[in-house]
Amino acid sequence: MHVKSLAKDIEIDYLFKEQWPFTIHKHTHYEIQFIIKGKGLHYINDDQFVYHSGDVFITLPGESHFFVFSEKTAVRIIKFNEAFFLQNFQNKELELLKQGLFSSNRKIRLSDTCRKNIGELFSLLISSYKKVSVYQNLIIKNTLCLILTLLMDETKLNLTRPQDEKIHLILRYIQENIREKDQLSVKNISEHFSINKDYFTQYFRKATGSTYKKYVQQYVLNMIAYQWVHQDKTLSQLAYEFGFSDEGHLSRSFKAHFNKTPTALRKEAEK
């Protein structure tokens, strides 16, 4: 699996895309992902989370994750490493923060007040990150400290666990049967979960924010991209394994989803 490293103590990224541009990957650093606009699904390790505008996620060093965008999504990402903690928090404060960060919860459901405050702090952080000044580092570090502190304070009441209702079982079933197209037909999956066939697609979209067909297609292509980059498999093998008619069909689907050819993606991952 591709592992992304951080060159600085703190970095800030912004994405506004129709599709998540990366394959499943791990980091050597911490990330806070603030959903500015859009909806879809976020996979962290073996868990799936539905996201909407205003949601916040935290991922830790060594965790794998990727998004499936149901619509064009804007994400602001703050990245920071272990050195940031050691430089800015005392032992007791550090222990409290890490208790929250290392909980089993990755999505933080914000109150309206906290969402507004976090949004304003993100704006301050971004403007300070772009503007060089004598106090730039001090402003950035103190603002990030405040964001983390507010997030951890919010988690006391608003921790959100991965969905534990029927949709969670459906998503798990899709993962387990992703290579079996017949098992994933609307007819079969609706019967398996005792949901009316005509209602299933409506139920799935309401629960996840994505159409069933789009979700399965995107999940398949992310799985293929991961195996193509990290395993010694040919496109023909992957096309056969995941039910594509041939290598050309897979390549066209791949290009439409990632906006790059399989060869270009593999070369990019090798850099």
pLDDT score for 170? 87
The band of 160, judged by pLDDT with boundaries at 50, 70 and 90, is very low
**Where in the chain does DSSP place strands (E)?**
3-4, 10-17, 25-27, 30-37, 40-44, 47-51, 56-59, 64-69, 73-80, 107-108, 159-160
Q: Give Cα 96 distance to the centre of its chain.
A: 25
Locus of tokens 């909980």: 103
What's domain 3-160's superfamily in CATH?
Answer: Regulatory protein AraC (2.60.120.280)
Confidence of residue 44 (pLDDT cuts 50, 70, 90): confident
Phi, psi for 263 (deg, rounded to 5): -65, -40
**Distance between CA 129 and CA 12 in Å, rounded?**
8
Superfamily of chain region 166-270? Homeodomain-like (1.10.10.60)
pLDDT in tens, 192-239: 998 998 899 988 888 777 788 888 888 888 778 878 877 778 889 988
Each residue's pLDDT tens digit, 188-205: 999 999 899 889 998 888
In angstroms, the first-to-last Cα distance of the chain is 13
Length of the chain: 271
Q: What is the pLDDT of residues 133-143, one digit of tens each?
A: 888 888 988 89
Coil/strand/helix, residue 228: helix
Identify whether the C-beta of residue 269 lies closer than 8 Å to the C-beta of residue 23: yes
Name the residue ranges covered by the structural domains of the chain: 3-160, 166-270
Which residues have a Cβ under 8 Å from the Cβ of 74 and sit 6 or more positions away? 14, 15, 16, 35, 36, 37, 38
Closest Cα partner for 253 from 234, 271, 238, 269? 238
**Under 8 Å between Cβ of 24 and 222:** yes
Q: What is the pLDDT of residue 76?
A: 92
Question: 3-160 and 166-270: same fold?
Answer: no
Model confidence at 4, in pLDDT bands (50, 70, 90)? low
Using the structure block, give the residue that is written with the tokens 């041939």: 246
Spatial strand order of the sheet with 73-80 comes to 10-17, 73-80, 30-37, 56-59, 107-108, 159-160
How far is Cα 110 from Cα 225, in angstroms, rounded to an integer? 33
**pLDDT value, residue 161:** 43
